[in-house]
Amino acid sequence: MTFLINKKPFFCNYWVTYRCNSKCEFCNFWRNNSYKNIFDAKFTDVKKNLVDLKKIGVKFIDFTGGEPLLNKDLPQILASAKQLGFFVKLSTNGYFYKDRFKEIKNLPSRTYFSFDTTSKEEYKKIRGIDGYDKLIEGINIAINNKQEICLLYTVTDKNIKNLQEIVNFADSNKITTYIHPCFSYFGNKSLNKDNIKKIKKNFWNPYIRMSLPQLDFHKRGGNNPSKSKCQAGLSTIDIGPDDTLIIPCTHNYNKKIKIDGKLHTLYNSKEWYQLFEKAGKYNFCNHCTIDCYFGMSYFNRLPNYFFKQNLTYLKNLIESKRRK
């Protein structure tokens, strides 16, 4: 956990495409026309940025989208990230996993499969496509080939009714499952307090993971711009498929800067801190609950989040060690 001491960016959200075959009810990428004319990330650009991210001190990269498996260069991208020593996270809906498995086998450190229901019909309603069988097929392929995976349950007040069936699925199949409250962006609302309590009851389940401080953050109403602890640009960097640094974050941005192989130079300039000094303080940042920009601040916030963040970390660490 040296990144807690160094206080340098350690996490990168890397959008390799905004294209997606799903039409998730809680996502805006497929609805917003501004994303439709942006080309997928090119390996030549990503490779340069990976080298610079390594110099900056980044340890973890989430290759996401859209649906990242739609990017033809993804195998090269994942291989390069792995070679450079990053923890490589791949976030996918699983639809194309079977088709591209041979190309990406053993490249991600961990693959996250979106998994919000065990019902084929409800899957269609939530994700907008008939893809449940493809998802299950992809999960089974990953398990049978000993890939490290995690199911990602994006929970809302609407699909909280699926909580027990998701927990039962995780238990019976012995698959780590992360319960992740839906971000309060794109018009989505934070979970109500009763539903947060329901989630917390599963904290000690060996196959269930959650962030206690994240749930409390939702419960308290999310970000307060007047005393924000947003870490955009400090612990987390967002890069778009069009080779741009996104400021302050992808979900609500007011500026994009073309990188052109100069990410490390930009990071070491005074401009970097000027670009991100208002992160979390804009009007659109009010009530934000996007955890990847606040997660590291939980370690530094006594007493509200510190102890629960460390409890979450230790529980996850113990479970990870226990299964090896």
pLDDT at 188: 67
Q: Does residue 14 belong to any structural domain of this protein?
A: yes
Pairing of strands 177-181, 208-209: parallel
Q: Does residue 1 belong to any structural domain of this protein?
A: no
Pairing of strands 110-114, 149-155: parallel
pLDDT at 296: 61
Q: Does residue 96 belong to any structural domain of this protein?
A: yes
Provide the CATH number for the domain around residue 171.
3.20.20.70
State pLDDT tens for residues 121-152: 999 999 999 999 999 999 999 999 999 999 99
Cα-flanking dihedrals φ and ψ of residue 247, to 5°?
A: -125, 130
Q: How many domains does the chain have?
A: 1
- 14-18, 43-47, 190-194, range with the lowest pLDDT: 190-194
pTM of the entire predicted model: 0.92
Which structural domain range is residue 308 located in? Answer: 7-323
pLDDT at 323: 60
Percent of the chain residues past pLDDT 70, beyond the cut: 91
Q: Does residue 231 belong to any structural domain of this protein?
A: yes
pLDDT at 324 over 80: no
Q: Does residue 119 belong to any structural domain of this protein?
A: yes
State pLDDT tens for residues 237-265: 999 999 999 999 888 888 999 999 999 99
CA 36 to chain centre: 21
Q: Does residue 218 belong to any structural domain of this protein?
A: yes
> Which of 62-66, 187-191, 223-227, 283-287 shows the highest mean pLDDT?
62-66
How many Cα neighbours within 13 Å face the side chain of 301? Answer: 17
Q: Does residue 2 belong to any structural domain of this protein?
A: no
